[in-house]
Chain A
């Protein structure tokens, strides 16, 4: 019981970050109740795990950072949450995020922006910014996020924590509020590779409620290796462009040198379709989102805004006032690209490009590369407001992360140094369902890389 109180206290102390959406009173009450009910034999016994607010929980409301789901209490919980609880973990409140996970800064939340734990003027990244900030502030050892185009890895990089996105189909999406269904995966943010990996292992595995979840046993954690002997690490040249932030470049070079010192073979590879990844992503994700978000119409749940003298006015006012500007922008884009007459030019071509991007990765792996190493984000955390008026600049923050979602591959970010006190993340991209190899390499790199030193 005293543990549950301490967990609540730590979370409430981090209040200034605006990372937690659960009110302090509710959090305390629930944590005490959960601690009493928790299984004492589970592998995560007593471990508090904060949960992004787009994952359904019975303990707390699920708002997706949106006004349109203000106060929404799900009558069921996500499979990942059921698995966490079965392993003895405590659901440590719901974390702030970009509305419906659409954004790269957690500024697009109806409940206010999340503060970067190391610099209050900056953003923590997004969309799982609340989860990343809480882990970075030491309030929880791990938190769930969701990653559609980098929403776990990019905030992990900005906040200096570990962020893992599993292979598409590794973790059940049942109860994850859909954004881009063919891209979405629940991921984990952790203060260490091990914390993230053990939570990921617990939530992974088959689920009869999700037809896109593979019929596989849960991920088995590898042991921490002595070296990287036998690993071939590929460096995709398209991820190290000339305009890359020099500090990010220095941090990556240092990490690459260390992997070599650990015995890894390093070789340059090419993923030639990389320049098309962001445009491809910004067709497919909004297309799916425009359909996934159609259900928020004020008819069955969530607030109904005034002015519903007829059905169309009800839709217009509820959706017009309930959704924020970024969500509205993506619904409009998605509706457009799926429209008759534009489908072939946008959606179909994007699907074709997606297949080519996935083929790029297969080609690299077929040539004997085990893992790819890249910067997670081209630059460290930016200032709040800096990119709000420039959606394209904001979208470019995902340039190195969207490809893993398009190809369905596992990928993770881990801290590899700092620039002017701001964390820099390095990304490992693995082969489908070979998260264990990716985690093994991350374990080895984590032990040697000076994660908090200036690069």
Chain B
């Protein structure tokens, strides 16, 4: 059936901006404080309190908009989105509506099915977060924590350009990478600093019009994105194929059951009665301010990937891995500049360095200079590949100079022909039948002899040199 249907997905992503204080007051935004300790009259919505917009948040939002290639509007308007909920202390959320901060951007990403795809970014606007309702803390009661109330967010509305759940995941991954790159958010879904809602519809393959969509909410972990959208797509297909039709509603994803259920109509607000926020003047951005934000932007991931391919002659795959995060890309370039040969450096960073980082809170524990030295030791024949990996692990856990560590661990390859000759003699003496067969023309036994020498030397023999000594002795 999946051949006959095409899925159409657009994502609405809420991203918490990395600011010290909230969007409209001076309260801290730090995560994990005891409930209701980071609050003031403004974010509690007390009678008479008024909002004052946070300039730092506006700057970060503009950077996000520029990185997504949006048109940043010199004038935008804050608006009130009115609805009742206990964790919304004012009874409205300050957001932006018909005049958002930025519109018409795009995001290029690699689709697992279609290759390079450019999705449209319809709009990007600023808003404040609501508080948090806690339903499982007290029996028969809901608790409200307003620490999050007023935390600055941007909402990034993507166009209906995604064609599968896997593609939606790839889009989100790329978006997350971009936002982390430019440093405007931690994009941590578990802490709620990245949240995503999805608009999903289906149509017969070949159709171009959009059908009725549903909005899937409550996707609260990265790994659920693909699953949740798959479940909703399958539900819609099954519904239509059995003669039903999709109705416009909000579906809540249940990760435990891997199902979606319609939100009760009572939970839905049908009319937000948006109107311009009279407590805040229009948000006017000078060209100087926008230019300043532009100058704060680093090289973006796509640009960096292209440059790595050109400058270091890396494959697209390798360049993609090495530019996936700004920290790794910078680390790689430091290794190369230390200096190290770019492809070897790429191999080492992608395997040993990233594997070690994965086990140690994403810390790249071996300094670029030390890694470059390890690579040089392998190139120079001082360390075998195996030994180099041990040295790397040792430097990672204890620090220190790679050569000194290699020596103290006795891993430096022995290139002294006198010492090698002794090992060779021992080996040949112990394997007289094989020596006979070799002399009778079974030259492929050389590998066996080298192996035996390595074994006798406990891996310390320089294998190339050992082979030369073996050849000399066997031909004598």
Contacts and interface: CB of A to CB of B under 8 A. Distances in A.
Contacts of A301: 46
Interface string B244-273: 000000000000000000000010000101
Q: Which 10 A-B pairs have the closest CB atoms?
A: A294-B91, A181-B278, A182-B278, A338-B273, A175-B48, A177-B47, A56-B48, A177-B48, A299-B86, A295-B45
Contacts of B409: none
Contacts of A312: 266
18 contacts: A174-B48, A176-B48, A177-B48, A178-B48, A178-B279, A180-B278, A181-B279, A210-B52, A211-B50, A212-B50, A212-B278, A291-B91, A294-B91, A297-B91, A299-B144, A311-B86, A340-B273, A343-B273
A291 B47 contact: no
Contacts of A212: 50, 278-281
A285 B110 CA distance: 51
A291 B48 contact: no
A295 B91 CA distance: 5
Which of the four size classes fits the interface of chain A? 35 or more
Contacts of B274: 338
B301 interface: no
B46 A76 contact: yes
A374 interface: no
A339 B84 contact: no
A182 B90 CA distance: 17
A13 B86 CA distance: 44
Contacts of B396: none
Contacts of B279: 178, 181, 211-212
Contact of B47 (A64, A210, A311, A315): A64
B37 to A, nearest CB: 14
A243 to B, nearest CB: 34
B79 to A, nearest CB: 11
B41 interface: yes
A366 B90 CA distance: 41
Interface string A153-193: 00000000000000000000111111011100000000000
A175 B47 CA distance: 7
B465 interface: no
Contact of A291 (B49, B51, B52, B80): B80
A209 B278 CA distance: 14
Contacts of B56: none
B44 interface: yes
A403 interface: no
A392 B273 CA distance: 25
A212 B275 CA distance: 17
Contacts of B50: 173-174, 209-212
Contacts of B84: 294, 297, 315
Interface in B129-150: 144
Nearest to A301: B46
Which of the four size classes fits the interface of chain B? 20 to 34
B82 interface: yes
A287 interface: yes
Contacts of A338: 82, 273-275
A347 interface: yes
A115 B274 CA distance: 40
B64 interface: no
Which of A291, A335, A347 neighbours the largest number of chain B CB atoms within 10 Å of its CB? A291
Contacts of B91: 291, 293-295, 297
Interface string B449-463: 000000000000000
Interface in B21-50: 41, 44-50
A339 B47 contact: no
A287 B48 contact: no
A409 to B, nearest CB: 17
Given A212-B279, A291-B275, A294-B91, A56 B82 contact: no
Contacts, number: 100
Given A338-B82, A338-B273, A340-B273, 4 more contacts: A74-B41, A178-B279, A300-B144, A347-B275
B357 interface: no
B53 interface: yes
A211 B51 contact: yes
Secondary structure of the A side of the interface? Answer: loop
Contacts of A78: 48
Interface in A255-303: 287-288, 290-291, 293-295, 297, 299-301
A351 B53 CA distance: 24
Nearest to A172: B50
B48 A300 contact: no
Given A75-B41, A338-B82, A294 B47 contact: no
B128 to A, nearest CB: 14
A160 B447 CA distance: 115
Interface of B: 41, 44-53, 80, 82, 84, 86, 89-92, 144, 266, 271, 273-275, 278-281
B86 to A, nearest CB: 5
Contacts of B45: 295, 300
Contacts of A431: none
Contacts of A210: 50, 52
B52 A74 contact: no
Contacts of A176: 48
Which of B47, B48, B271, B275 neighbours the largest number of chain A CB atoms within 10 Å of its CB? B47
Contacts of A181: 278-279
A320 B450 CA distance: 93
Contacts of A335: 273
A35 interface: no
Interface string A406-421: 0000000000000000
A72 interface: yes
Given A62-B47, A291-B92, A295-B45, A211 B266 contact: no
A17 interface: no
Nearest to B84: A315
Contacts of B266: 312
Nearest to B41: A76
A72 B47 contact: yes
Contacts of B53: 211
A174 B407 CA distance: 71
Contact of B44 (A177, A297, A300, A311): A300
Contacts of A211: 50-53, 279-281
Nearest to B87: A299
B48 to A, nearest CB: 4
Contacts of A180: 278
A295 B92 CA distance: 8
A178 B47 CA distance: 7
Contacts of A293: 91
A94 to B, nearest CB: 13
A357 interface: no
A51 interface: no
Which of B80, B275, B281 neighbours the largest number of chain A CB atoms within 10 Å of its CB? B275
Contact of A295 (B47, B51, B271, B280): B47
A175 B51 CA distance: 12
A58 interface: no
A208 interface: yes
A69 interface: yes
Given A76-B41, A209-B50, A299-B144, A294 B278 contact: no
A287 B86 CA distance: 22
A208 B144 CA distance: 29
Contacts of B280: 211-212
Contacts of B46: 74-76, 301
Contacts of A69: 47
Contacts of A315: 84
Contacts of B86: 297, 299, 311
Contacts of A295: 45, 47, 89-91
A347 B79 CA distance: 14
